[in-house]
Structure 1
Amino acid sequence: MNWRDTRHPEGGGSERYVERIAEGLARLGYRVSIQCAGHDRAPSGDWVAGVRFRRRGNKFTVYLHALLAILRSDADVIVDVQNGMPFFSRLVARCPVLVLVHHVHREQWHSALGPFFGRIGWWIESWLAPRLYRKCRYITVSNVTRDELGGLGVELRRTVVVPNGLDAPPAVTARRTEAPVLVAVSRLVPHKRLEHAIDLVARLRPQWPDLRLELVGEGPWKDVLRQHAIDRGVQDSVVIHGWVDEQAKHEILAGAWLHVCPSVKEGWGIVIMEAASHGVPTIAYRSAGGVAEAIVEHRTGLLAEDFDDFVRHAETLLRDQPLRKAMGAAGRERAQQFSWEESLDAFEGAVHSALRLPPRLVAGEHRVAQQVE
């Protein structure tokens, strides 16, 4: 149960995680379905890489459609992907439920829904959901989120960390640009705080007149960001690409000097590792959760305490080419340590644990075991 898929206009890294794991489970012999919201970029139902997709409802009614799908299903395990709002699957599921949480949304509720509805959303996530799912196992992508869930009452013993994997980067023709280029790859939504990337250009352009920022991604905040660049007088230095395909994204990453991630919160930050795979270090905020694990500070990137610190870090890396190259090389080496196969093994272990199966039982055998019992 996920609110979006990767083909959704606002799909991002969390959706990619879900689909890579789902595809891996399908390869192992599991029957996997993803229930998500409908949109105009994909049919209401199809099969991709052995995974069945059912797209119903919008960003609000997707939850009702998911509950109806659970009632009709013969699933052995439900994976309830809690992107702030749970699917309340525990109320109707007749099988074990695994709760997948990428990060806690305390800071995002207000910006997404305003003060009144934001308080309701945070109450559901921080108080109601931990109690509703109090007997369920949790999966998350970083130790930071695991600890934050612990603060909400989810016992650490019920939570397993299954980090993001990483696809091998495609071959690219792009080379590092001669003029300095910053890149940010993100959904264009308020909590990604991409205004800070534009403000960074405004602060640095007096010293770096050829500086350019390339924003890659789609979302409802595009016009706001375009207007913000105009207001700051840097519209000629900011390129908003919108959605691009994977090859184009990697070409843009490979040509950049620095990747900037000013997001309020991230569970991990797949794009940080994608940038690292091209030798591009990242600057992010220390308070943004999982980025502090995706980045090895002072080795593959830098973490800022506030916006002024963000600017200082960017100045440092733009001016110090040897340091920038050293961080890029360390990031490329570290990126090679992550794979979806290892993440899949850990996720499958969590599935077996929820089903109380022996850890070495292969996919498909659990049905035979149940029949024997």
Structure 2
Amino acid sequence: MNIAVVNWRDPWHPAAGGAETYAWEMARRLAAAGHTVHFVTARAPGQRAREEIDGVRLARMGGPFSVYARVLAWLLPRRSWFDVVLDCQNGIPFFTPWVLPRRTGVICVVHHVHDRQFGVHLPRWLAAVGRFLEGPVSRWTYRRHRSVAVSPSTVDAMRQRLGWTGPIHIIPNGVSVGAPAGIRKSAAPRLVCVGRLVAHKRVDLLIDAVSELRERWPGLTVDIVGRGPEEARLRARLPEGVTMHGYLSEADKERLIASAWLQVNASQGEGWGLCVLEAAALGVPTVAFDVDGLRDAVRHGETGWLLPEGADLAKGVSAALDELAGGRGDEYAARCRSWAARFSWQSSAERMAELIRGRPAPAPVRAVPAPLREERW
């Protein structure tokens, strides 16, 4: 089949995150299965307009906002090329059904609902436009098309906050990391925070908690991995014991995470929280707030701890450290690895391929403790 994967960015874009990893893992595995795959996306400074990687043909064009119109203009003269288009919604979808023939299958891939986050990142008037496009316009545009969500939280948000009525299939993230050889946990408590440095990730909450945590755990250190528009502001207010690493290679990032006692994710909401699954694969539990996506990725009391929204983060992290220091670290590490082992990119790509062929996505037998229904694990 001829397939187009349309996504806001590619994994090599300086602002790439988990959504880009998801889209790329689907694309390259579909290409490996024999399909012709185009990955249509924005173009960052220094990136080639055309390139082929892992059998996937990349077409890059436009910036953060102009990419939407540019992609539709690119698709229009090629509208007869594609059998299926994966239209990835990163807050706002590409509205590809507007330029495609009715025979072309369109699958809208939604990571998480952005309605509450538009107000964090955009002026009030532009946030209102974003909510209108994400809500009523998207609902009408994709009403006859199938959708994919990455977690039950995303399904709930699509149904309740966007009024989505069409079929939604859950195809989760995978994980591809393994514990590096010879890495031991640090002697003193070590926290790690991994992700894009943007406002809704609320890294400030972790930074604010450090002084209180170091009163209880004097040798405690914190490593923050990632880059983004908040980086300079956060660097200017780092307390003692906190290191900001910026971008790290995958190998260096895995070694750093594997040596940590605990990952902390203070985000106000995710589609899933890929960093949680990656840390779990390395035997590292996560403390997070009980919000969309993270409540799916973290199994409270088994692979980490979920705090009520608005709870004191320092107290929550300190309680988790007490458990780990009390001899339960190996127990949590084993459960984390077992949970992460239930997810694989290959399994998710195979389920996406089934959906592309017009069949319901099969239940992820290895990925969940109960059979998958349309809207639940």
TM-score, normalised via structure 2 length: 0.89
Q: Residue 292 of structure 1: which of 286, 292, 295 is its match?
A: 295
- Partners of 1:306 and 1:358 in 2: CA distance: 33
Task: Look up the equivalent residue of 1:124 and give its one-letter code.
Answer: L
Matched, 1:323 2:333: no
CA contact (8 A) 1:268 1:290 kept: yes
- Partners of 1:358 and 1:190 in 2: CA distance: 34
State the Cα distance separating 1:327 from its structure 2 match.
Answer: 1.7
- Partners of 2:134 and 2:114 in 1: CA distance: 8
CA contact (8 A) 2:281 2:341 kept: yes
Label 1:90 to 1:11 Cα distance change in 2 as closer, same or farther (>3 A).
same
Matched, 1:251 2:290: no
State the Cα distance separating 1:41 from its structure 2 match.
Answer: 5.2
Q: 1:368 maps to which residue?
A: none
> Where do residues 37-116 of structure 1 align in structure 2 (5 Å cutoff)?
37-40=42-45, 42-73=47-78, 74-94=81-101, 95-116=104-125
Aligned length: 350
Label 1:179 to 1:338 Cα distance change in 2 as closer, same or farther (>3 A).
same
Q: 2:270 maps to which residue?
A: 266
CA contact (8 A) 1:195 1:228 kept: no
Range that drifts further, 35-44 or 189-198: 35-44
Q: 2:206 maps to which residue?
A: 197
- Partners of 2:158 and 2:124 in 1: CA distance: 23
Label 1:314 to 1:132 Cα distance change in 2 as closer, same or farther (>3 A).
same
Range that drifts further, 204-213 or 170-179: 170-179
State the Cα distance separating 1:126 from its structure 2 match.
Answer: 1.7
- Partners of 1:247 and 1:312 in 2: CA distance: 32
State the Cα distance separating 1:212 from its structure 2 match.
Answer: 1.2
CA contact (8 A) 1:173 1:251 kept: no
> Where do residues 1-373 of structure 1 align in structure 2 (5 Å cutoff)?
1-40=6-45, 42-73=47-78, 74-94=81-101, 95-151=104-160, 152-155=162-165, 158-169=167-178, 171-229=180-238, 234=239, 236-287=240-291, 289-320=292-323, 321=325, 322-353=327-358
- What SS class does the counterpart of residue 240 from structure 1 fall into? strand
CA contact (8 A) 2:85 2:105 kept: yes
CA contact (8 A) 1:78 1:93 kept: no
CA contact (8 A) 2:287 2:320 kept: no
- What SS class does the counterpart of residue 321 from structure 2 fall into? helix
CA contact (8 A) 1:277 1:331 kept: yes
State the Cα distance separating 1:204 from its structure 2 match.
Answer: 1.1
- Partners of 2:361 and 2:138 in 1: CA distance: 29
Label 1:358 to 1:293 Cα distance change in 2 as closer, same or farther (>3 A).
closer
Task: Look up the equivalent residue of 1:80 and give its one-letter code.
Answer: D
Q: 2:374 maps to which residue?
A: none
State the Cα distance separating 1:172 from its structure 2 match.
Answer: 4.0
CA contact (8 A) 1:170 1:247 kept: no
CA contact (8 A) 1:259 1:281 kept: yes
Identity %: 35
- What SS class does the counterpart of residue 135 from structure 1 fall into? coil
- Partners of 1:41 and 1:178 in 2: CA distance: 42
Label 1:213 to 1:31 Cα distance change in 2 as closer, same or farther (>3 A).
same
CA contact (8 A) 1:8 1:41 kept: no
- Partners of 1:18 and 1:187 in 2: CA distance: 17
Q: Structure 2: give runs of 5+ residues left out of the alignment.
A: 1-5, 363-377
Alignment RMSD: 1.8
Label 1:291 to 1:238 Cα distance change in 2 as closer, same or farther (>3 A).
same
1:102-156: CA deviation from partner (whole Å, max 9, x where unpaired): 000122100111222112211211221111211111001001111211122222x
TM-score, normalised via structure 1 length: 0.90
State the Cα distance separating 1:181 from its structure 2 match.
Answer: 1.0
1:222-269: CA deviation from partner (whole Å, max 9, x where unpaired): 01111232xxxx1x3211111111001101100111101111111111
State the Cα distance separating 1:318 from its structure 2 match.
Answer: 1.4
- Partners of 1:170 and 1:34 in 2: CA distance: 31
